[in-house]
Chain A
Amino acid sequence: MLSIKGLSFAYPRQPVHLDGLTLEVARGDVLGLLGPNGAGKTTLVSLIAGLLKPAAGSIQLAGEPAALGRRELALVPQEYAFYPRLTGRENLDYFAAVCHSNSQTRRAAVERAIEETGLGELQTQIAGHYSGGFKRRLNVAIALLQAPELLILDEPTANVDPQSRAFLLDVVRRLNQSGVTIIYTSHLLDEVEALCRSVAVMDRGRILLQGDMKTLLAEQHCLRLGLAAALPESLTGRTGVMALGDAVSGVQEWQFDLAQLGMSAAQLLTQLDQSGIAPVQIHYGQRRLESVFMAALARENERL
């Protein structure tokens, strides 16, 4: 669906922003595009959309060079990219008129977008008065008007309540099931891990890592434990021991690289048992995306 080869770009009088970037996104895939702030994700998206012109390299979208106004591509920016003084319906009608010249197609596209995103009851209300969750839904709905083959979502669930977040993720899944290829950028790695089938990690304008999610997360030496108590001193700070995220309801998740620790899963569990600690969650043979992401960035920092 999307093939990027040797892509380079730099803003004038600034250091190189993208440096020979190569990325492949298969049709029907859901790709999680990860990277710290300033990694070049937004620049990459702008280049794919044709808003910027690359200094070198090529971008092929559905077999054709990427250009501004390609109907196959729709963007959902992180910002609320609509008119807050218009109602949801008026926004959709306007963007539909921009995308489609035929009035029947336009009406059908608006109805479909409203149905897909559950905006029905609120469509006649001023969009600026929507809750954060419904603003996000409208943001996505506008992108759906184009009936895109490739949908790029930039932090689509930022600052929304859990209910709206779950709904939006469902919308994305349904779209993907209907054949839409998705590129999903987010700093919420749990969300990406749950949603995406493949992942690409980028930093400083380069792709550090790209692959199938299951393959990247598979790790036979990896044991993840949820602990309600503090880790014994004998394990704290050792190589191969890593805290994942913050504690939730008093439970902290830990990842243990058994190869690095030089012990088996049984030995580790025994040691914890002797310290009076009983794990409340056990996952074996699979890393968390967060550890993959952090490891990729750490390797890049070491390389530099």
Chain B
Amino acid sequence: MSRLTASVFKESLLLVRDWHGLLVLFVMPALFVLIMSLALQGQFAKAGGGQLRGWLSGEQLIVENTQAEAFVNVLRAQPELELRLALPDSPLSTADRLVEIRILSRFDQVLAGESDVRSGVELRFAPELGMRERALIEAVVQRSFADLNTTLIAQELGFDRDYAQRELLKTGFIQMVDSGDSNTDASADASTATRPNSVQQNVSAWLIFGMFFIAIPFSTTVIQERQQKTLMRLQTCGMPLGQIYLGKLLPYMVINLLQLGLMLAIGAWLLPLAGAQALSLNVSFAALALISISTSCAALGWASLVAACSRTIEQATVASGASCIIFAALGGIMVPRFVMPPLMQDLSLLSPMAWALEGFLTVLVRAGSCTSVALNSLLLIALGALLATAAIFISRWKQNHD
């Protein structure tokens, strides 16, 4: 058995016998995935691929064979909206129905130019609804009205609805193209296809958080060995510091990969049992392995640096925990990047967790290949190597200075 093999075996035994550490590394991110995926399902549906829900009402009963009825039919065919008929002034909230689209009794007269008043439809929003959703709803209603009105003009000119769609509305003039083979659920429309759903976002995010959280048990063992002079003993036996670190890092990388397996299993099989969407595993496993190993490299590099810079276990625990939380807050783990304002989206790139998350989402959401995640992987591996090298230099320097 070589020194490295013996070190890996020894470290694996130590890890297996550390139940508290394993609980933190596996149970904590698993619980986060379960809780956050289920809790944020609705939010992701609104922000991502879900339909906007609203009431459809009329000042009077909508009479058959009127333009108002035709408009209602056009509205109900819009994929962005899920409308339910209701009485006027039904309650609105962002948790349920966002908008009431009220067809006014003068709708046909206004459309025919027989009324002095210009409005034929009223939109009433939930007070707390954001500007983006208001603008989207207005655009969908406006598009529906344009569809109806253009068809009417075409009919007056002696053409049919197809002509109106083709020549006047120029349907198809704007083509929607996905950034890749979308792996989102089938109900998502093209404009939202590259956004993750709640399960995809949370499985990726909390997996990365768990992987970086490895800094706590890793740095704790390094500091214990330094304080107990075990590291010194190994060095005096002729074992180089780099080999000592490598023998410790490899088993922790295996732990990171086991975390990956657990989180994917939760997303694919456990969350659907609780009513959430299933995580599709119809992805490139090579790309998934690449981005996972790269993320592990960065996490272990960071763990090594924390261990090298901290004098006590208390210092290392605080530094590891706090840095994980800051990286997570900044890097889109706690709050998805796509809901951040542009400045924060730019700032989030300072966090290696953001690089990792982008890589995971590329694989899990956009069916990315190894090539698609190559840049992010390279960045993460380079960061990990840089941090680990710095850790070894700092350890050597401290040996001669403390």
Known contacts A51-B232, A79-B227, A101-B2; is A146 also within 8 Å of B10 by CB? no
Residues of A contacting B18 in the complex (Cβ-Cβ under 8 angstroms) = 85
Residues of A contacting B156 in the complex (Cβ-Cβ under 8 angstroms) = none
Of B234-242, B250-258, B315-323, B331-339, the segment with at least 4 beta carbons within 8 Å of chain A is B234-242
Taking CB atoms and an 8 Å cut-off, the chain A residues in 163-194 that contact chain B are none
- Can you list 5 A-B pairs with a CB-CB distance of less than 8 A? A69-B235, A77-B233, A82-B230, A86-B10, A99-B238
Taking CB atoms and an 8 Å cut-off, the chain B residues in 367-402 that contact chain A are 399-402
Complex partner residue of B399 from A51, A73, A79, A98, CB under 8 angstroms: A51
Name the distance in Å between A286's Cβ and chain B's nearest Cβ: 37
**Is residue A95 within 8 Å, beta carbon to beta carbon, of the partner chain?**
yes
Complex partner residue of B229 from A71, A77, A86, A95, CB under 8 angstroms: A77
Residues 65-109 of chain A, each 1 if its beta carbon lies under 8 Å from chain B, else 0: 000111101110111111101100010011101110101000000
10 residue pairs, one from A and one from B, having the closest CB atoms:
A69-B238, A97-B6, A77-B229, A81-B229, A81-B233, A94-B10, A79-B229, A85-B17, A81-B230, A49-B236
**Is residue B1 within 8 Å, beta carbon to beta carbon, of the partner chain?**
yes
Residues of B contacting A71 in the complex (Cβ-Cβ under 8 angstroms) = 238
Known contacts A83-B10, A85-B13, A97-B1; is A75 also within 8 Å of B238 by CB? no
Complex partner residue of A90 from B13, B228, B233, B239, CB under 8 angstroms: B13
Name the distance in Å between A42's Cβ and chain B's nearest Cβ: 10
| Size of the chain B interface, CB-CB below 8 angstroms | 28
Distance of A77 Cα from B238 Cα, bound (Å): 16
**Is residue A118 within 8 Å, beta carbon to beta carbon, of the partner chain?**
no
Considering only CB atoms, which chain B residue lies closest to A71 in the complex?
Answer: B238
Residues 266-279 of chain A, each 1 if its beta carbon lies under 8 Å from chain B, else 0: 00000000000000
Considering only CB atoms, which chain A residue lies closest to B10 in the complex?
Answer: A94
Contact assessment for A68 and B235 in the assembled complex, using a CB-CB cutoff below 8 Å? yes
**Is residue B14 within 8 Å, beta carbon to beta carbon, of the partner chain?**
yes
Name the distance in Å between B57's Cβ and chain A's nearest Cβ: 69
Complex partner residue of A68 from B9, B13, B238, CB under 8 angstroms: B238
Contact assessment for A103 and B238 in the assembled complex, using a CB-CB cutoff below 8 Å? no
**Is residue B118 within 8 Å, beta carbon to beta carbon, of the partner chain?**
no
**Is residue B3 within 8 Å, beta carbon to beta carbon, of the partner chain?**
yes
Residues of B contacting A73 in the complex (Cβ-Cβ under 8 angstroms) = 236
Known contacts A53-B400, A82-B230, A94-B10; is A68 also within 8 Å of B1 by CB? no
Name the distance in Å between B400's Cβ and chain A's nearest Cβ: 6
Residues of A contacting B13 in the complex (Cβ-Cβ under 8 angstroms) = 85-86, 90
Contact assessment for B237 and A95 in the assembled complex, using a CB-CB cutoff below 8 Å? yes
Residues of A contacting B400 in the complex (Cβ-Cβ under 8 angstroms) = 11, 52-53
Residues of B contacting A83 in the complex (Cβ-Cβ under 8 angstroms) = 10, 14, 230
Residues of A contacting B229 in the complex (Cβ-Cβ under 8 angstroms) = 77-79, 81
**Is residue A142 within 8 Å, beta carbon to beta carbon, of the partner chain?**
yes
Considering only CB atoms, which chain B residue lies closest to A99 in the complex?
Answer: B237
Residues of B contacting A12 in the complex (Cβ-Cβ under 8 angstroms) = 401
Considering only CB atoms, which chain A residue lies closest to B236 in the complex?
Answer: A49
Taking CB atoms and an 8 Å cut-off, the chain A residues in 128-168 that contact chain B are 142, 146
Contact assessment for B1 and A103 in the assembled complex, using a CB-CB cutoff below 8 Å? yes
Residue picked from B1, B5, B236, most chain A C-beta under 10 Å: B236
Residue picked from A50, A85, A98, most chain B C-beta under 10 Å: A98
Residues of B contacting A52 in the complex (Cβ-Cβ under 8 angstroms) = 399-400
Contact assessment for B238 and A95 in the assembled complex, using a CB-CB cutoff below 8 Å? no
Distance of A50 Cα from B396 Cα, bound (Å): 12
Residue picked from B2, B5, B7, B229, most chain A C-beta under 10 Å: B229
Other A-B pairs, 16, CB within 8 Å; known A68-B236, A97-B5: A50-B236, A51-B235, A52-B400, A69-B235, A69-B236, A69-B237, A78-B229, A80-B228, A81-B228, A83-B10, A83-B230, A85-B18, A90-B10, A95-B234, A99-B237, A146-B237
Known contacts A81-B228, A81-B230; is A94 also within 8 Å of B237 by CB? no
Known contacts A11-B401, A69-B238, A81-B228; is A95 also within 8 Å of B14 by CB? no
Residues of A contacting B3 in the complex (Cβ-Cβ under 8 angstroms) = 97-98
Name the distance in Å between A284's Cβ and chain B's nearest Cβ: 43
Known contacts A12-B401, A81-B230; is A51 also within 8 Å of B14 by CB? no
Distance of A94 Cα from B230 Cα, bound (Å): 12
Residues of B contacting A77 in the complex (Cβ-Cβ under 8 angstroms) = 229, 232-233
Name the distance in Å between A152's Cβ and chain B's nearest Cβ: 9
Distance of A82 Cα from B230 Cα, bound (Å): 6
Contact assessment for B232 and A81 in the assembled complex, using a CB-CB cutoff below 8 Å? yes
Distance of A53 Cα from B399 Cα, bound (Å): 10
Taking CB atoms and an 8 Å cut-off, the chain B residues in 1-33 that contact chain A are 1-3, 5-7, 9-10, 13-14, 17-18
Taking CB atoms and an 8 Å cut-off, the chain A residues in 1-58 that contact chain B are 11-12, 46, 49-53
Distance of A166 Cα from B312 Cα, bound (Å): 35
